Amino acid sequence: MDTPAAPAPDAFRRELLATPTALEQRILQRIDERTAQTRRDVDEQNAETRRHFDVVAENMMVKIELVAEGIRGNNERLDRFRGEVRAEFARVDHRLLRLEAGRPRKRRR
C-alpha cells in the first residue's frame, strides 16, 4: 500500500501562514470594527470642532463690526472737529487781517 507523500515542510508552513485561523479572523474583524469606530469618532469630533469654530468666528465678526462702527463714529467726529477748527482759524486770520489793515504801516528808512 502506498501512503501519500507528506507535504514538504516549507509548503506546509506556507499553507499555514496563508490561511488565517478563526482567531486571526476575529482579530482582523475587531481591528476593522475599531478602525471604523475611530473614524466615526474623529468625524464627529471634527464636526463638533467646526461648529464651535463657526460660533467663535461669528462672535468675533460681531465684535469686529462694533469696533469698525466706533472707528467710523470717531472719524466723523474728527472731520467735524477739523471743520470747526478750520473755520475758527479762518475767523482769527480774518480778524488779524483787519487789525493789520487798521494799523499804520511803518516806513522804512
pLDDT digits (tens, 9 = 90+) for 76-104: 999 999 999 999 999 999 988 888 887 77
List the domain range (segments joined by +) for residue 34. Answer: 10-102
Low-confidence stretches of the chain (pLDDT < 50) are none
Q: Cα separation of 7 and 101, whole Å?
A: 130
Which amino acid belongs to residue 75? N
- Residue 20 contacts by C-beta under 8 Å, 6 or more apart in sequence? 28
Residue 22 lies in a domain: yes
Count how many domains the chain has: 1
Please say whether the beta carbons of 36 and 29 come within 8 A.
no
Residue 21 lies in a domain: yes
Which amino acid belongs to residue 31? I
Looking at residue 31, its pLDDT comes to 93
